[in-house]
Amino acid sequence: ALAFSICSKQMEPCGLIICLEKDSSLFHHQDIELIKAQAQRMNMHVDFATGHWKDSPELPGLLKKYVNNGVPNVVFGDIGDEKNYKRKIQLCQNAGATPIMPLWRMPYPHLINLYEKHKIKSIITMVRNGLQDLLGSEFTKNTFMKLKEAGYDPLGEKGEFHSTLVDADFFSSPITYTLSKVEEMEDNFGKKWIRKIQVKL
pLDDT grade for 69, boundaries at 50, 70 and 90: very high
Residue type, 28: H
Residue with more model confidence, 28 or 73:
73
Alpha carbons 199 and 201: distance in angstroms, whole number: 6
The whole-number pLDDT of residue 104 equals 97
Out of 46-50, 51-55, 91-95, pick the least confident. Answer: 51-55
This prediction has a pTM of 0.93
The whole-number pLDDT of residue 174 equals 98
Alpha carbons 181 and 196: distance in angstroms, whole number: 8
Alpha carbons 146 and 191: distance in angstroms, whole number: 22
The whole-number pLDDT of residue 29 equals 80
pLDDT > 80? residue 201: no
Nearest to 76 by CA among 97, 51, 101: 101
Please give the distance of CA 100 from its chain centroid, rounded to a whole number: 15
pLDDT > 70? residue 139: yes
27, 35 Cβ separation under 8 angstroms: no
pLDDT > 80? residue 95: yes
The whole-number pLDDT of residue 26 equals 67
pLDDT > 70? residue 198: yes
Q: Return the percentage of the chain with pLDDT > 90, whole number.
A: 85
Q: Return the percentage of the chain with pLDDT > 70, whole number.
A: 99
